[in-house]
């Protein structure tokens, strides 16, 4: 391990590796520290990645052996009750043709390893099995390197990029990002369920290399503010369910029981039938939104990706924000190197660049969304799924009763649980939170 470098990056995920690629492309001496045995060993996401943003770092990623699982041609949204649910989907031939690989699934253990390999090819040094335990600071408090858990583990650097993810004791310990509150993170668990390539293609009605994403809202989270998802990989399915950590604490639910209940849901059970569970993982998602994003730069350091809470919960976009924030951080570092000034004055350009990008614009647009879900979680994740399921079930049952009578019965059941004013309030709040 070197004793010094120009740029030290903490974490070999999408943010850190994107930054390392850009810096190494410009001949900068960059070292990435990864606590896992290999890049990706500790990493997990739902599994969706975005080609447009990856191409900003590696333009010819598909030709460079990027481990794409399936190209997504159809996105479905389910709103489920205990016994059934609504399904809405959109498929378009363009996603199989000219916009191929705009959205695709990955397994992060393989993808991150490949991505880090690209950075290494460009000249970045990726040091694995190494935890950054503290940041080095000079007498004026400026960050000037990292302390690792290796013997003689101090490495001096002109600037440090913190890209160590949402669960970052380092950020909390150094005070650069406060420890998140339980209602600012979602705790998610994920199972990899193995099935044959052919079975997956048949069940999801797709060509061998194509796939489907299903986002699932409703009673699966037992009234918690949360979401579930089922994504197709080449030879496996990713099943994910998560909820606000605060809600988990409030309701005493066990994550592993929640995912087992989901597997038994009739709409899921038929899709995973005969599959073999292969892996079980857990991770946080940053759910605080715009209001929880900390100051992302200071004297001698920058913060990118999940570590900076850059995550759009509504559109399940996180890895793209990580990649682009890593790229923008690297471009700011290049300016700092050019000026030989690593103070917050120069590094502030990073915040400017983020503000002008889709990242802060989207986070700002949806800044009221986390509050909306928290405020109405009991209706959205409890009352509505049951009522809407009952309404559809009754309307679709042919039993000789006239439709007007059915409608008034349904309406009476709804009115027992909800006031009209309450309904209007929710619709208004929903519109306001995403407008």
Partner 1 sequence: MTSIEDKLFLNRFRVDATPHLKVLDPQVCVRECREQPCLNFCPARVYTIGENGKINVAHEGCLECGSCRIGCPHMNIEWRFPRGGYGVRHKFG
365 binds partner 1 (CB under 8 A): no
| Closest among 121, 115, 54, 17 to 330, alpha carbons compared | 17
252 binds partner 1 (CB under 8 A): yes
Task: Bin 396: left if φ > 0, else alpha if -120 < ψ < 50, else beta.
Answer: alpha
SS3 of residue 230 by DSSP: strand
* Stretch touching partner 1 by CB under 8 A, among 89-97, 142-150, 208-216, 354-362: 142-150
Rounded distance between C-alpha atoms, residue 2 and residue 156, angstroms? 9
Residues with Cβ < 8 Å from 255, sequence gap 6 or more?
187, 189, 241, 242, 248, 282
Closest CB 335 distance from partner 1, rounded Å: 32
108 binds partner 1 (CB under 8 A): yes
Closest CB 427 distance from partner 1, rounded Å: 32
C-beta closer to partner 1: residue 184 or 376: 184
Rounded distance between C-alpha atoms, residue 305 and residue 164, angstroms? 8
CB contact at 8 A, 299 and 343:
yes
374 binds partner 1 (CB under 8 A): no
Residues 189-212 as b/e (b if ≥16 CB within 10 A, e otherwise) read bbbbbebeeeebbebbebeebbbb
Closest CB 344 distance from partner 1, rounded Å: 28
SS3 of residue 63 by DSSP: helix
> Site mask, partner 1, residues 6-45, x = CB under 8 A?
-----------------------------xxx--xxxxxx
265 binds partner 1 (CB under 8 A): no
Residues 306 to 345: which contact partner 1 by CB under 8 A? none
Residues with Cβ < 8 Å from 2, sequence gap 6 or more?
31, 125, 155
- Helix 108-122 / helix 14-25 crossing angle, nearest 10 deg: 20
With CB under 8 A as the contact rule, the residue among 18, 81, 130, 221 that binds partner 1 is 130
> Burial of 8 by CB count in 10 Å (0-12 exposed, 13-18 middle, 19+ buried)?
buried
Total residues interacting with partner 1, rule: CB under 8 A = 56
* Stretch touching partner 1 by CB under 8 A, among 164-172, 345-353, 376-384, 423-431: 164-172
C-beta closer to partner 1: residue 249 or 424: 249
111 binds partner 1 (CB under 8 A): yes
The residues that touch partner 1, with contacts defined as CB under 8 A, are 35-37, 40-45, 107-112, 128-131, 133, 148-150, 166-167, 169, 179-182, 185, 187, 189, 191-192, 233, 236, 245, 248-249, 252-256, 260, 263-264, 277-284
């Amino acid at each position: 391990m070197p004793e010094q470098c120009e740029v030290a990056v903490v974490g070999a995920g999408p943010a850190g590796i994107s930054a390392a690629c850009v810096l190494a492309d410009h001949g900068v001496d960059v070292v990435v520290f990864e606590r896992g045995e290999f890049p990706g060993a500790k990493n997990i996401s739902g599994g969706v990645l975005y080609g447009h943003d990856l191409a900003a770092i590696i333009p010819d990623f598909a030709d460079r052996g990027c481990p794409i699982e399936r190209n997504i041609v159809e996105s479905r949204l389910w709103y489920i009750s205990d016994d059934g649910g609504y399904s809405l989907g959109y498929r378009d031939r363009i996603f199989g043709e000219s916009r191929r690989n705009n959205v695709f699934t990955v397994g992060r253990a393989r993808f991150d390893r490949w991505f880090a390999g690209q950075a290494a090819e460009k000249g970045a040094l990726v040091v694995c099995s190494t935890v950054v335990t503290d940041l080095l600071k000079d007498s004026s408090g400026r960050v000037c390197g990292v302390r690792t858990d290796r013997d003689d583990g101090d490495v001096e650097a002109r600037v440090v990029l913190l890209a160590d993810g949402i669960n970052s004791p380092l950020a909390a310990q150094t005070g650069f990002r406060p420890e998140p509150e339980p209602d600012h993170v979602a705790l998610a668990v994920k199972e990899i369920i193995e099935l044959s390539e052919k079975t997956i293609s048949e069940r999801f009605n797709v060509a061998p290399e194509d796939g489907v994403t299903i986002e699932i809202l409703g009673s699966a989270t037992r009234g918690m503010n949360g979401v579930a998802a089922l994504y197709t990989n080449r030879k496996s399915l990713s099943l994910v369910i998560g909820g606000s950590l605060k809600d988990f604490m409030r309701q005493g639910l066990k994550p592993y029981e929640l995912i087992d209940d989901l597997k038994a849901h009739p709409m899921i059970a038929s899709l995973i039938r005969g599959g073999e569970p292969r892996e079980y993982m857990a991770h946080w998602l940053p759910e605080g939104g715009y209001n929880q994003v900390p100051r992302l730069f200071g004297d001698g350091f920058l913060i990118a990706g999940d570590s900076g809470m850059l995550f759009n919960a509504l559109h399940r976009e996180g890895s793209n924000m990580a990649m682009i924030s890593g790229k923008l951080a690297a471009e700011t570092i290049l300016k700092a190197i050019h000026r030989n000034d690593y103070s917050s004055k120069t590094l502030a350009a990073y915040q400017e660049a983020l503000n002008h990008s889709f990242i802060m614009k989207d986070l700002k647009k949806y800044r009221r969304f986390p509050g909306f879900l928290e405020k109405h979680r009991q209706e959205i994740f409890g009352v509505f799924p049951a009522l809407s399921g009952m309404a559809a079930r009754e309307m679709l049952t042919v039993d000789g009763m006239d439709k007007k009578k059915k409608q008034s019965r349904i309406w009476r059941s709804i009115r027992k649980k909800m006031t009209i004013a309450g309904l209007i309030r929710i619709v208004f709040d929903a519109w306001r939170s995403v407008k």
